[in-house]
Amino acid sequence: MLRFLGEALTPKEETEEAIVKTAIKMKPRDLATFIEALPSWAEILFYNF
């Protein structure tokens, strides 16, 4: 998860690509948690910077 946050601090196009690549690698249960966390990460990363 921390690796993803580092990748998400890149330009928007790369961020979207990182989200997809990270999601593809996850197990279904982890993926559900990951998807639920995306809105809060988006707020932190894109509205506070």
pTM of the model: 0.35
How far apart are alpha carbons 4 and 20 in whole angstroms? 11
Q: Bigger pLDDT: 49 or 17?
A: 17
The mean pLDDT value for 29-37 works out to: 75
How far apart are alpha carbons 33 and 49 in whole angstroms? 24
Is the pLDDT at 1 greater than 60, yes or no? no
Q: What percent of the chain has pLDDT over 70?
A: 53
pLDDT confidence of residue 20? 77
